[in-house]
Structure formats: structure tokens, C-alpha cells
Chains A and B, each alone.
Chain A
């Protein structure tokens, strides 16, 4: 006993620590070395960048600003403002002034609003301030480079002959390709005489959108016209389609038929996206309801019975194997890629029976025999597991093979079918999310007051669920709008495909960057605007209504 107490009280032992070389390395060596190294890297990078930007070559001016090398007044001003030394010095000066203000504020304890902000978000310590300098220079010179390419050195002439002569002396972008092909970008090969019909359709949509935005905002006097607006929207679809297509079979006159192979550009992009989302909506809704369905399923006995009846029918109508058969299993990671399996009559029939009954057993056991739910889950997961492009290939190549040979279908129609099949699965998942957000009490209350299942869905659940998923639906539409660019791969002349044909024009050969930047900008503007509108709708619907 005594020895133990003695040892415990021995001050020498209390001070003893296990040899901690790692800790010493990290705390005392690595820490300092790391800080010094980081400081050297930051300062060094800044010095290198400053040196590079200070000596940056002057921007090259376009022919307009400097015809035949004679730089005009505007050109001179631009050259002076974009001069590397000037800009670098300006940035450095601003940075130093900022640093001075912050230091002054810290020393004099005068950290009022803007100075506090500067300290917190631009000059957070030594490393933060150096990072800020680096980023400032980066931003300023990236902007300078963009302007030099897109504006100061650019050529805006839309006359191909003039551009052909000036191409060699144009240091920046040749924007003429955009201006000269504006009609192609907008509507593709849609005939000139009928373009007014596109404008009318556009006007209808814009008027309806404006009215709707107004009618669905808070406390709007138009609230009571909401049902009429819904009808107007429903009616506008066939009307605009009729306007765009014309009266079938007429080749002349103001309503002459414009075949869909002439539709193109932004028009086609919008048509596919809108048709895709609108027509896939009912399918997606049904799939979501089906997947959420808790309806009584088919009991296991019935399932098995049905399976046996099916098998017997199949075998009796000629499906029964009479001799042993050889199957080639496609296993593509083998070489040769086929794996032959020979089955006797007995093995074959047993396999068939097991396959059919096994699947039915799984459905009965895991999904309570709910066949509709099974189908919906299968469809949604299948489609969501494969890329859009394969669905488009499928629609494009397989639809004609799977329909009777009498039915001839339009290329656009096929692609739209593909887009609808694809987007329905994603919509279904969004709607399902909304349905899940509705508390169980709402279903129970609806049942308790005596509403039937369809009434409670229509009047109670869906109005709330759909309202909850509007942001997600808009997001889905933005995604679909972007994804329509894939139809260019299967040969439709949407905005992207038009861009490719425009680049291939002999007059404008090789102007990839200009064209792609332009259409990227178009897509961007629309997606960004839709996202902004979505946020607005969310705000409008969110408060007060409940």
C-alpha cells in the first residue's frame, strides 16, 4: 500500500510525459514551416502575377477602332485604360488604400460599417489580404481579356464579304455570325411568310404568363378569374400548335402547313420543352399516385393462381418446349461474348415456371401484391437509371419497329414521345415528394367527412401537394429545357443543332467560340430567369395563404 501511494505522490513521475516526437514535430516544426511556406507561396504568386500583368501586352483593337492601324480617339482611350501597368497599379493602389483604411480603423478602434465589412470580408489577416490582392488582379484581368476578345477586338459586321476580308485583321470575336443568322437561331427554316404566326403564338403565351403572374400574386383583384386563366392555358396549347403547324393539307394561304422538319432553332427548343413538360405532367402525376398507392393488393393465392393460369395458357397455345433448346446468354465481357446454355425440356419448363411464379411471389411478398405500384416503381426506376440519350435513341429507332408498319410517325413526334417518357419518371418523383409532405391527418380528415378517394385527392391532397412542389417542378422544367439540347444528337434542328449548321456555313467557317458563347448565353438567360421566377412564385405562395 505505502509504495503505491508513494509512487503516486512522486512529483517527478507526475511531470514525466511519454516521448511524443510526432506532437513536437507537428506543433513546433510543421506549424512554423507550414506558415512560412504558405507565406512564401502567396507572396511569390502575387509577385509573379503582378509582374506578368504589369507587362501584359496591350489589347489589340479591331478594324473599327483602328482602321488601317490608325488608332482613333476612342481607341486611344481604351488602350490607355486597359494598359497593363496602369490597371495593375490601380488595383495595387486600391488594395493598399483598403489595407490602410482597415489598419487605421483597427488602430483607432473606429470599425464602423464599411470598414468592419472590409476587415471581415477582404482583409482577414495577412493571408486573407494577400489572397484578396491575387483575386482582385485575377478578376480585373479576366474581365480585361473578355472585353478585349468580345468588344475591343471584335468585328460586328454581318456582311460575309466584308467579314471575309477583315477576318485576318480581327483579333477578337467575329460577332457577324450571330447577327447574320438570327432568323435561323430563332425559328430555323420556318418560312419567312409564316413567321408572323410564331410571333402571334409568342404574344399569346406572354399575355397569359403576365396575367397569370398577376392573378396568382397575393391579394390580386384577378383572383376570381384564376379558373378562366387555367382554361385559357389549356386552350392555348392546341391553338399555338395549330398556329405553328397551320391547317393540315393546305399548301398556300396564310395558314399554309409548315411541316415540323422546317421548325428549328429556339422555337423548336421551346416547343419540345413545353410539350415535354405539359404532356408528361398527367403521366408523372399518375405514376406518383400509383407509386404511393396503398390500395389493397392482389392476395398471394390469386397471384399464384393467375401465374399458373398464364403458364398453362402459354404452354397450351404453343409455348411448351418440345425439345431441348440452346440459349446464347449475351455476356459482353467475355470473348466470344455469347455463353451457350442448353436446357432439356424439363429444365426449360421448370425455369419458365420458376421465373413467372418467382416474380409474382416477390411482388406479393414485398409489395403486398399491389400490381399498379409494382408497375410504377419499375417504370420510374428503369427510366431514372438510364441516360436521356438512350431513351431518345429508343424513341427514334425503336418506335418505328414496335408500331405496325402502316403508322408513319414524324421525327419530332418520336423525339417528343421520348422526352415525355423520360420526364414523366422525374416528375413523378417530384410529385411523390409533395405527396409525402402532406400529413396523414389530411387524408384521414378527408375520409372522415365522407369524401371518396378521388374527391379527397382532387380537392384536398393534390392542391396542397402540387403547391409544395412548384419550385421542384420549375427546377425540373429548367433541367428539361437544358436537356432538349440532346435532341440535336438524334437529328432535330434545335438551337444547338442550328448552331452547328451555322458554324459549318462556308462564309462563317470556324467561328465555334462566338456561336457557342451566344447560344450558351441564350440558354443561360432563360434558365436564370426561370429560376428567378420560381423563387418569386415560392414567396408568393408561401406566406399568408394558409
Chain B
């Protein structure tokens, strides 16, 4: 130092054991060295133990054939590898978490608002639900739902049908109407895209118009109405254009239109047996149209009920009913093909009982049809034409075209020992999803409530003072501010739900942990499997929080 004034001694050298910087570096180096040494010790133990127990160290075991079945999920069989099995589990985890997050958000918002409702009873019920469920372990809730409710449901034969809807609850799960896209779907989809673009353009034009004239235009309603109109036009246009589906029947049956199928169904009713059981002539004569067939059945039901309350013996009438019910048309076709779903659902809508005989391929189905095992063969018109050309007497069969809507409702129906058709979710999935949503919603509801309460009363008053209406107040003032408070804790609830989905292992839903546990037991590669668990969950957690951080930023910016 050149300009040292006479008052100051030249700087003393600091001994290193007193120098803050050196001390910090030493402390941190010792700490890191201890951590590394600890890891090294653990790993050396692991290597020694692994060698002793004959465990492999890499991830090569993922290539070994799994040899166990997985009850649900994407395409998989026992001959696939451990790796594939773990992937199936991961997809299952993502599926239940994603659905859970969506449902939790909806229920959470509803319950949170209900708790703030000015109706005292509604608030009481919402509060009671929150206080009861969130103070009980999720696992207990899951066990109660799975063992105490879902597995206590009746067997398939006695499926519960709530309110007579086409929804079947039984031990094998829940069957419900599903939607299946047909060949016409892509065309309809094009219409939807078109409608969306149209609405967006319309919205922009109207916004500009609004700004120029200063008059408010109801953009929302206009958009919805024009969207619906275009989509509806698309639905019918697609339906009339596309009719590649058809059904093959014996020409002798005189089918030209779809509703002619009634007649061949009515023939199937065993009138002789009914007469033998003592059904009156008048009733038997009524069985010449579908509507009257239904009337007869209703009459029988009423008589049976009356007999039961009077203590009479309804056995004979029940027998008659059974015969009436057993009459059905049999449809053959490729398993899960649109042809079969389309035909059977349309026939059912006519009021005809349908039995479906699924075959793996069209050839097998048509062979079955040729043998006379089915009344109809369903498939695409070209398929049917090809099959018909191979028959001995092609002229004895006609292919009747069946018009197709872009999507077909696939309604479940009891058939034998199972429920056929429709969408189905397993008891395990249902219990897990329901439990997760029931439990996490309580926390979500509290978050929503706190968020809404966090927006001060002054804000609402200011909004009213500016002349905003209630909808505008909620949409423009309260919600944007509440969202800022709601999103961070909601994110951690979404993460909790995802992590809690691992409790699936307790009720045997094949999620990642459940499948991984089986892999662990079968292969003995504990460390690798647990590493896969951790990396997968970490990645999912990071993805969710990254997405919500992005959203959070967007909300924060929009506000400013």
C-alpha cells in the first residue's frame, strides 16, 4: 500500500484459522467430504452386499420378461418386459392423478363456495364434510371405500342401476355409456375446427366494433350460438354423407329399412311357450309391435308386484316374463368394432333385446353367421360385400346400409355373466380416484375459501361503485385477485394428490409403485426400482410445478 498514513500500521497478516473466508471454505469442505465419505461407505456396503446376494448393479434387468399380469392399463401381456410393466404402471399413475386433479379442482371450488354460502345449512354441510374427512388418514378413507363400499357392491347379476340410468355398479366395477368415434368423426372434427376459427374471427371483429362504437355487444352468446349452429350442421352433414356401415341379413327376412328389424325380433318370441304357461290370447295377439311388447311386459310387472303384496304366487307370471325377456337378436361382428357398437346400440334404441357375439376377426364372425348362429352380421359395407361374395349363395343375403353419426353412444347392457359394452372402470380405479378426490377436495376447498376471503371487501365495494354488475365484479375483480392467493397452495395439493396416488399399492390398483413393488419382489433389484420410483415422481412433480409456475406468472402479469 503506497499511501499508508503514519497513523496506520501496515495490514497484519490474518492467521488462517481466524480468517472468515478460509473458515467458511474449510467448514464446507469438511461437510462435503463427510457427505461424500458417507455415500462412499454406503455404496461400498451396497457393492459388497450386492455381490454376496448375487444382485446385478445396472438396469439390465428391465429387459427380462416380467411374467406377471397387470389388470388394467395400456397394451401389455405377461410376456412383456419389466421395463414395459413399469411403463404401464407410470401411465396408470398419470391417468389417475390427472383425472383426480381435474375432479378435485371442480369439487374443491364447489365445496369452498358452498362453505361461504349465505345458506347456513349448506355452509354447515360443507364445513362438516371438510372437518370430518381431512382429520382421517387417506389410507383409512381408501380402505373404507374399497373394502367397505366398492367390494360390498352386489354381483354382476344384481348390478345397481341408480335412477334407472344405463349405469351399472357391481363388484367388477362401474359400467357407463361411452362415446365411440366412427369413420365420420374426422369430418365432424373438421367442422368443429372450422367453427372455432369462425368464432375467433367473429370475436375479433366484434371487439373492434365495440371499441369503435362504444356500444356493448354480447360477444359470448353470439359466439356460443354460432358455434353450436355450425357444429350441429356438421353433425347432420357428416351423418348423411358417411354410411359405410352395413348389416347383412338373410334376404328372406325382407329387411329394407332399419325399423324392419322389429318384425324379425318379434318372431323370436316363443309364443307357444307363453301360451303353455297360460298367457291369454288377447295378450299374445298384442305381441306384434315393439311398443305393445313393452306394454305387455309392463303389465306383467304390475301383476307380479300386485301378487307379491297380496301374498299370491307370481312364479308363473315370472316365467312368462323370462320368456319375453329371453327373446333377442344376435349380432355377430368384429370385437369392439364400430359396426357392432353402432348396430347393437341402434337396435337397442328401437327397443330390441340384442345379444352380441364378438369374434376376433371378421372372417370368424362371418363364418359364425354362415352357420346360422347369428341373425345379423355387422361391419363396413365393403367388408360385408367381400364376405358375401364368398358365400355359397350370395343372393340369399342382403347388405342393408346403416347411416352413421360421427360418434356413437356405446351403452352398456347386461349380457350373461357380465356387462357388455360401454366404458368401464375397475373397482380399484374407482375407489382410488374417489378416495383421492374426496380427501384432497377438503384441502382444496379450504384453499379456495381462503382465496376468496383474501380479496378485501373494499375491492368489491369499489367494483360496485364503478357500476360493474355482479358477474363482472366476480370475473374482473375478485377472481383474478383470489387466483393469485389460490394457485401456489393449490399446486402443492396437486402434487400431494399425485404422490398420494401411490397408496394404490394398498388396494392393488396397478400404479407405478404397485407394479414396481411386484417387479422388486420378482427381480430382487430393490435399489434400481426405488431409483426409478424417485426419478419418475420427481419428474412428474417438476412438470406439474413448472406448468403451474408458468400459469402463475401469466396470471400475475395479466393482473398488472
Residues of A within 8 A of B (CB): 17-18, 20-26, 30, 120-122, 124, 128, 131-132, 135-136, 138-139, 295-299, 302, 306, 328-330, 332-338, 369-372, 375, 382, 385-390, 393-394, 397-398, 400-405, 478, 482-486, 488-489, 496, 499-500, 503, 512-513, 516-517, 519-520, 523-524, 527-528, 531
Contact = CB atoms under 8 A, between A and B. Distances in A.
Contact of A386 (B45, B52, B538): B538
B132 A337 contact: no
Contact of A132 (B27, B121, B141, B528): B121
Contacts of B151: 512
Residue with the greatest number of chain B CB neighbours at <10 A, chosen from A20, A298, A516: A516
A371 B532 contact: no
Nearest to B53: A401
A335 B83 contact: yes
A21 B222 contact: yes
B217 A520 contact: no
B81 A131 contact: no
A295 B42 CA distance: 29
Contact of A139 (B49, B119, B125, B500): B125
Secondary structure of the A side of the interface? Answer: helix
B393 interface: no
Contact of A512 (B86, B148, B502): B148
A401 to B, nearest CB: 5
B526 A496 contact: no
A437 to B, nearest CB: 17
30 contacts: A23-B216, A26-B220, A120-B118, A128-B118, A131-B121, A295-B24, A296-B21, A298-B29, A306-B29, A330-B59, A330-B62, A332-B83, A332-B84, A332-B87, A334-B83, A337-B84, A369-B28, A375-B35, A382-B538, A387-B502, A390-B502, A390-B534, A401-B46, A403-B45, A405-B52, A512-B144, A512-B152, A516-B143, A516-B148, A520-B141
Given A25-B221, A523-B137, 9 more contacts: A20-B217, A136-B121, A139-B125, A328-B60, A332-B84, A336-B83, A388-B499, A402-B45, A523-B135
Given A122-B120, A298-B29, A390-B537, A385 B542 contact: yes
Interface residues of B, number: 86
Contact of A18 (B46, B84, B209): B209
Contact of B222 (A17, A22, A120, A139): A22
Contact of A387 (B35, B42, B121, B499): B499
A338 B534 CA distance: 18
B82 to A, nearest CB: 8
Contacts of B143: 496, 499-500, 512, 516
B527 A485 contact: no
Given A485-B137, A513-B144, A527-B135, A122 B121 contact: yes
B105 interface: no
Nearest to A131: B119
Contact of A371 (B32, B217, B502, B503): B32
B131 interface: yes
Given A22-B220, A371-B31, A531-B135, A387 B500 contact: yes
B8 interface: no
Interface string B202-224: 00000001000101111111110
Nearest to B134: A527
Contacts, number: 246
Given A18-B215, A375-B31, A386-B499, A524 B135 contact: yes
A398 B537 contact: no
Given A121-B120, A401-B527, A375 B32 contact: yes
A20 B216 CA distance: 9
A297 B500 contact: no
B530 A338 contact: no
Contacts of A517: 144
Closest 8 CB pairs of A and B: A337-B83, A22-B221, A23-B218, A22-B222, A22-B218, A121-B120, A330-B59, A527-B135
Interface in B21-49: 21, 24-25, 27-29, 31-32, 35, 42-43, 45-46, 48-49
Contacts of A338: 59-60, 62-63, 83
A329 B294 CA distance: 64
B81 A335 contact: yes
Interface of B: 20-21, 24-25, 27-29, 31-32, 35, 42-43, 45-46, 48-50, 52, 55, 58-60, 62-63, 80-84, 86-87, 90, 118-122, 125, 131-132, 135-141, 143-144, 147-148, 151-152, 209, 213, 215-223, 225, 495, 499-500, 502-503, 505-506, 513, 517, 520, 526-528, 530, 532-534, 537-538, 541-542
Contact of A336 (B63, B121, B131, B144): B63
A387 B513 contact: yes
Contact of B526 (A138, A139, A398, A516): A398
A524 B136 contact: yes
Contacts of A336: 62-63, 81, 83
Contacts of A306: 29
A401 B526 contact: yes
Nearest to A510: B152
A513 B48 CA distance: 48
Residue with the greatest number of chain A CB neighbours at <10 A, chosen from B31, B119, B209, B533: B119
A512 B513 contact: no
Nearest to B90: A332
A18 B213 contact: yes
A139 B121 contact: yes
A90 B20 CA distance: 80
Contacts of A387: 499-500, 502-503, 513, 537
Given A338-B60, A519-B140, A132 B505 contact: no
Contacts of A139: 121, 125
Nearest to A295: B24
Contacts of A385: 495, 534, 537-538, 541-542
B427 to A, nearest CB: 14
A335 B80 contact: yes
B23 to A, nearest CB: 9
A216 B63 CA distance: 61
Nearest to B23: A296
B131 A528 contact: yes
A367 to B, nearest CB: 11
A496 B140 contact: yes
A328 B59 contact: yes
Given A121-B120, A328-B59, A335-B80, A296 B24 contact: yes
Given A23-B217, A23-B221, A386-B537, A488 B139 contact: yes
Contacts of A132: 119, 121
B450 to A, nearest CB: 14
B225 A405 contact: no
Contact of A372 (B31, B122, B534): B31
Contacts of B222: 21-22
Nearest to B83: A337
Contacts of B132: 524
Contacts of A124: 118-119
A101 B46 CA distance: 78
A135 B144 contact: no
Contacts of B42: 402-403
B81 A397 contact: no
Contacts of A394: 530
B137 A483 contact: yes
Nearest to B538: A385
Residue with the greatest number of chain B CB neighbours at <10 A, chosen from A22, A122, A132: A22
Nearest to B502: A387
B506 A489 contact: yes
Contacts of A527: 135-136
B209 A389 contact: no
Contacts of B218: 20, 22-26
